[in-house]
Amino acid sequence: MPTDPVLVVHGGAWAIPDDMLDAHLNGVNNAVKAGWNALSKGGSALDAVEEAVVVMEDDETFDAGRGSFLNRDGKVQLDAFIMDGSTLRGGGVGCVERLRNPIRAARKILSESPHVYFVGEGAEGFAAEHGIPLCDNGELIIPREVERLRAFQAHATEQAPNLFAPAISHDTVGAVALDAEGNVAAATSTGGTLNKAPGRLGDSSLIGCGCYADNDSAAASLTGWGEPIMKLVLAKWSADRVLSGNAPEWASQEAMNYLKSRVNGHGGIILLDRRGRFGISHNTPRMAWAFQTKQRADSGIER
Ligand code: GLY
């Protein structure tokens, strides 16, 4: 089914501080450029979401790749998932510590492994065996995040702040795309939540929770507080609303309403079907997003 390509990306949904708005907007615009470049050269939806997410993993603004939140032990632990809507093949990594671009490893798993997931050292070993260089975990850590963790832990001992308040960053990144062949794909990448317990896995890399793609329904990528999102298997829930005849614009908003009303969760979603219709919704104070179609490009963040 030949069609006009579409690409949508997000760069996290939370109370993004005023002084980080421009960085977020630049980041999502750069991500769209990279993904659109892949689509323009005849690349697949999978190529587009991978390239878009790599740009945001490389950008220290976001909670993905270098610059991610630190876990309780002061380490970066990353989760990522990518899914092909035409074959339903997926590739995911969880709790990886030595990969600058976990989404590249996830793509290799999708393309070159009979499995869907690798975690921890096994994932790092798989990546290395498939030509993806490993780095030292220290190379993923930046001073801003060392200070953020220090301040959080100092405060936590005094009055136990709410780790999941919307003001705590959920800068997970993601992309959904439709290519010229009429196939959809989705990708999501994250450093997870600040001060998380070592080994904690969020929604982002769990199939159907923070990421899902099926040509028959839609492609979805989520950001936000992972535990409520995974309880609702919200990416699949949202895609199923499209399958049953609803527009992605409506289904994305309904997903955020459901997240809030059912489990008091917060976050954001991008949702795209193979007709090129898409929705961008969040129930947090701000979310950074951008999209590109043949006719139109736009990006935004609440000012
Ligand atoms: N949504 C990112 C996480 O909770 O890990």
pLDDT of residue 239: 98
Asked if the model's pLDDT at residue 263 lies above 80, the reply is: yes
Quick one: pLDDT at residue 24?
Answer: 96
pLDDT at position 166 over 90: no
Kindly state if the Cβ of 190 falls inside 6 Å of ligand 1: yes
Say yes or no: CB of residue 204 within 6 Å of ligand 1.
yes
CB neighbours (10 Å) of residue 130?
Answer: 15
| Strand-pair partners of 120 | none
Distance of CA 172 from the midpoint of ligand 1 (Å)? 7
Q: What is the pLDDT of residue 140?
A: 98
- Between 2 and 164, the more confident residue is 2
CA–centroid distance, 297 to ligand 1, in Å, is: 28
Q: What is the pLDDT of residues 234-253, one digit of tens each?
A: 999 999 999 999 999 999 99
CA–CA gap between residue 288 and residue 12 (Å, rounded):
6
Is the shortest distance between the CB of 203 and ligand 1 below 6 Å? yes
Q: How confident is the model at residue 2 (pLDDT cuts 50, 70, 90)?
A: confident
Report in angstroms the alpha-carbon separations of 272 from 1, 254, 279, 293: 16, 14, 7, 12
- Per the CB < 8 A criterion, the answer to whether 93 and 53 are in contact is no
Answer yes or no: is the C-beta of 226 below 6 A from any ligand 1 atom.
yes
For residue 53, which amino acid is it? V
Burial 213-226 (b: 16+ CB within 10 A, else e): bbbebbbbbbbbbb
Hey, which of 225, 259, 266, 269 would you mutate to test ligand 1's pocket, going by the most ligand atoms within 8 Å of its Cβ?
225
> Is residue 61 annotated as a catalytic residue, yes or no?
no
Query: Does 44 have pLDDT greater than 60?
Result: yes
pLDDT tops 80 at residue 158:
no
- CA separation for the pair 50, 52 (Å, rounded): 6
pLDDT of 49-74, one tens digit each? 999 999 999 999 999 999 999 999 99
Length of the chain: 303
What pLDDT score was predicted for residue 165? 61
Q: Please say if the pLDDT value at position 170 is more than 90.
A: no
Q: Residue whose CA is closest, atom 4 of ligand 1?
A: 226
Among the atoms of ligand 1, which is closest to the Cα of residue 79? 5
Q: How far is the CA of 213 from the centre of ligand 1 (A)?
A: 18
Question: 25 pLDDT band (50/70/90 cuts)?
Answer: very high
Kindly report the CATH number that applies to the domain delimited by 6-300. Answer: 3.60.20.30
Query: Going by C-beta distance under 8 Å and a sequence separation of 6 or more, which residues neighbour residue 217?
Result: 239, 240, 242, 243, 273
196 in helix, strand or coil? coil
Round to whole Å and give the CA distance between 301 and 122: 38
pLDDT tens for 105-152 read 999 999 999 999 999 999 999 999 999 999 999 999 999 999 999 988
Per domain, the residue ranges of the chain are: 6-300
Distance, CA 203 to ligand 1 centroid (Å)?
5
274 pLDDT tier (thresholds 50, 70, 90): very high
For residue 216, what are the contacts with CB-CB under 8 A and spacing of at least 6?
A: 243
Tokens representing 239 are 């895609």
Kindly state the average pLDDT of the residues 197-204: 96
pLDDT for 277 equals 98
Going across the sheet that includes 278-282, the strands are: 211-213, 219-224, 267-272, 278-282
Residue among 53, 63, 203 whose CB has most ligand 1 atoms within 8 A, to mutate? 203
**pTM above the 0.75 mark?**
yes
In short, whether 174's Cβ falls inside 6 Å of ligand 1 is no
Question: Higher pLDDT residue, 18 or 273?
Answer: 273
Q: What is the pLDDT of residue 160?
A: 54
Measured between alpha carbons, how far is 136 from 152 in angstroms, rounded to an integer? 24
Position 161 pLDDT exceeds 70: no
Q: How is the chain split among helix, strand and coil, in percent rounded to 5?
A: 35, 25, 40
pLDDT of residue 89: 98
